Structure 1
Amino acid sequence: MTIPTAPTDAQLAAASWRTSSYSAANNECVEIAPVASWMCVRDSKDPSGPALTFTAPAFAAFVAEVKRTA
């Protein structure tokens, strides 16, 4: 399996970030954005800070497991 090249800082800055509809309006949540073959996650309190990047299949597996155990 070939892992795609991680998103660049410019791609992360241009990404369409969104928060969960369950999040409060006080910026204390995480935001996600799809960028190419990746799902990116960042802290809404620090949008210019670092982002975690996951391959789309790894992120989908994580979300499925959270839903399964919730």
Structure 2
Amino acid sequence: MKYVFIEKHQAEFSIKAMCRVLQVARSGWYVWHQRRHQINRRQHFRLVCDNVVREAFSDANSAMVRHA
């Protein structure tokens, strides 16, 4: 996809020039780029929450006293 190409080469070329050459709207690229980072933040938050829940259950299970 054109947006992925722009993202990979933004250190080498200006975003404005790449958008012009690839015939994509710069505003479209910025919307795509922002959305992509929001998804990454959401995924990171979910991983952190999963780890917290996993640790809480692990701690609760290890603290349980088992009676025969």
Query: Same fold judged by TM-score > 0.5?
Result: no
Give the TM-score normalised by the residue count of structure 1: 0.32
TM-score (norm 2): 0.32
| Greater C-alpha Rg | 2
Bigger proportion of residues as strand: 1
